[in-house]
A = this chain, B = another copy of it.
Amino acid sequence: MTPCVPEQILDHARADILRAAATCFMERGYTETSIDDVAHALGATKGRIYHHFRSKADLFASVFRAGMEMNYAAVEPYRTLPGPAAVRWRRMAMAHAMQMIVTRPFQRTVWMGVEMHLRGATTPQQREVMADLIRLRSDYSAIFREVIVKAREEGDFDFGSVSITNQLMFMTLNSPIFWYAPRAGETRADLEELAEQVVTCAWRGLGGKEVRGQS
């Protein structure tokens, strides 16, 4: 029998590191973040991190993946909602925008990952891993793309190029990762109001009809 493998504990140990790493990556960027920085944020040393992750690139990729998986999980409940695609889109967009605010360190890391991949700033074997992650993100993007196309067919949206529109839409929905700053004593409702503004702006960009007070 293998000597007791407390999977929960191990996952917990990894999750702690991931959170610290995500924060460091957000605050300092990838290259500017040293493994020692992440370790320091944990009150630990390099050894702890290299025990759970093979390299800095691996750590980064794990943060990326975790961020994307959280997005999938947040949107999943609304994907199969019956009714107009435009309404479905609004729920999904709202969930997405909230994700950008609540899990900001992870989402900024995802963003950095995309930028780095576009720049090809990785070694060949890392590019394979990254390509996988980028696919994960593309698939996620495709989910929204399908919905806005459907909504256009149903006459609720009105826009030109699908690919450009999808880019612009995500740009708006993702934007909180850049300008949102947590305030003391902020409630969930405050955040939802913020997200609401963002979603409304994106909705308009898609050529959605003006409506008031829809959640």
Contacts and interface: CB of A to CB of B under 8 A. Distances in A.
Contacts of A119: 27-29, 32
Q: Using C-beta atoms within 8 Å of the partner chain, give the interface range for chain A.
A: 20 to 34
Given A171-B175, A171-B178, A178-B171, A165 B201 contact: yes
Contacts of A197: 160-161, 164-165, 168
Main secondary structure of the interface of A (DSSP, over half): helix
Contacts of A167: 175, 178-179
A176 B86 CA distance: 26
Given A27-B119, A119-B27, A168 B32 contact: no
A201 B27 contact: no
Given A31-B32, A172-B205, 13 more contacts: A28-B121, A29-B115, A31-B31, A32-B121, A115-B178, A160-B197, A164-B179, A165-B201, A168-B175, A168-B197, A168-B201, A171-B171, A171-B172
26 contacts: A27-B119, A28-B119, A29-B29, A29-B115, A29-B116, A29-B119, A31-B32, A32-B119, A32-B121, A115-B178, A159-B201, A160-B197, A164-B194, A164-B197, A164-B198, A165-B197, A165-B201, A167-B175, A167-B178, A171-B178, A172-B172, A172-B205, A201-B205, A202-B205, A204-B205, A204-B207
Interface of A: 27-29, 31-32, 115-116, 119, 121, 159-161, 164-165, 167-168, 171-172, 175, 178-179, 194, 197-198, 201-202, 204-205, 207
